[in-house]
């Protein structure tokens, strides 16, 4: 049986039998893969720590006919701070689910791996997880090859004006004269367009102190949600989890 080593992040898991788990891993060498962690639900299992959700580890994996098996793992970063905070956990689950939903199996993408790993490091200490989420969404889609056109009209090529619309199906903004090309296009403000442009072109570090008002936040959430839904064509369960956490925080006065 062939063995291979790879760094990987645990994106998710499901229980198998009485003591095993099937892990969904994301690797710079293999892309998204599934592998069995045998006996990992038993106390003191040697690969227990490395099989935790979001853990970043070096894995030794045995190739199988139907499913690979994890032989050993060495933790590089546990991301325990994400699992300890409910809001961070909710966003971490969302980031992982969106990555799983938007990537095919075993499609190697080192840039995407580095980007996701960097996002998880930032999530640990982020004070504005909502904006981090919007940046993650637009950059993730761009890396996957679905860059929204936010600098000129996707229909005529004209530059954006004071009255702009966003069309998920056409892949970007429409000017006022072209908004009839998609009756489902949503109206957005120049401030929202400007913020989308910055999020697309600037780095996480450059966007660290970006100031986004409440109305623009709402538009960003709507526009990117529609754009993502158009491309992945499935409902993400963790979106509702984040909404529930926000409601809980509001009731608690947090």
Residue extents of the structural domains in the chain: 3-78, 85-252
Asked if pLDDT for residue 233 goes beyond 60, the answer is yes
Exposure string (b/e) for 102-116, b if CB count within 10 Å is 16 or more? Answer: bbeeeeebeebbebb
Tens digit of pLDDT for each residue in 84-101?
999 999 999 999 999 999
Q: What percent of the chain is predicted at pLDDT more than 70? A: 97
Tens digit of pLDDT for each residue in 57-74?
999 999 988 899 999 999
Cα(82)–Cα(86) distance, integer angstroms: 8
CATH homologous superfamily, domain 85-252:
Recombination protein O, C-terminal domain (1.20.1440.120)
pLDDT for position 246 = 83
Torsion of CA 41, 44, 45, 47, to 10 degrees: 100
- 3-class secondary structure per residue, 163-181: CEEEECCCCEEEEHHHHHH
Tens digit of pLDDT for each residue in 179-214?
999 999 999 999 999 999 999 999 999 998 899 999
CB 136 within 8 A of CB 95: yes
Tens digit of pLDDT for each residue in 136-166?
999 999 999 999 999 999 999 988 677 899 9
Looking at every residue in the chain, the average pLDDT score rounds to: 93
Cα(223)–Cα(208) distance, integer angstroms: 21
pLDDT for position 254 = 54
Cα(116)–Cα(99) distance, integer angstroms: 8
Angle (CA) 251 123 9, round 5°: 125
Right CATH for 3-78 from 2.40.50.140, 3.90.420.10, 2.60.40.10, 3.30.1330.60 = 2.40.50.140
Cβ neighbours of residue 127 closer than 8 Å, sequence gap 6 or more: none
The tokens for 204 are: 């996480």
CATH topology agreement for domains 3-78 and 85-252 = no
Tens digit of pLDDT for each residue in 23-42?
999 999 999 999 999 999 99
pLDDT for position 250 = 60
Q: How confident is the model at residue 247 (pLDDT cuts 50, 70, 90)?
A: confident
């Amino acid at each position: 049986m062939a063995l291979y080593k790879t760094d990987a992040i645990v994106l998710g898991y499901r229980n198998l039998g009485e003591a095993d788990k099937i892990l969904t891993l994301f690797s710079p060498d293999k892309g998204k893969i599934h592998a069995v962690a045998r006996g990992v639900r038993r106390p003191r299992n040697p690969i227990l720590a490395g099989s935790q959700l979001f853990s970043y580890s070096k894995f030794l994996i045995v190739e199988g006919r139907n499913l690979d098996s994890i032989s050993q793992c060495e933790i590089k970063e546990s991301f325990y701070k994400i699992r300890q905070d409910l809001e961070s956990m909710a966003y971490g689950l969302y980031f992982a689910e969106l990555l799983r939903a938007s990537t095919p199996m075993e499609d190697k993408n080192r840039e995407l791996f580095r980007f996701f790993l960097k996002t998880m490091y930032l999530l640990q200490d982020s004070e504005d997880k909502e904006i981090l989420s919007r940046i993650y969404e637009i950059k993730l889609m761009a890396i996957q090859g679905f860059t929204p056109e936010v600098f000129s009209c996707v229909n005529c090529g004209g530059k954006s004006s004071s009255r702009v619309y966003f069309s998920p199906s056409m892949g970007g903004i429409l000017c006022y004269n072209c908004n009839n090309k998609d009756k489902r296009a949503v109206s957005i403000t120049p401030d929202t367009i400007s913020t989308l442009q910055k999020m697309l072109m600037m780095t996480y570090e450059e966007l660290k102190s970006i100031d986004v008002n409440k109305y623009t936040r709402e538009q960003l959430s709507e526009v990117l949600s529609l754009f993502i839904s158009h491309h992945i064509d499935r409902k993400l369960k963790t979106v509702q989890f984040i909404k529930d956490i926000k409601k809980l925080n509001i009731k608690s006065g947090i």
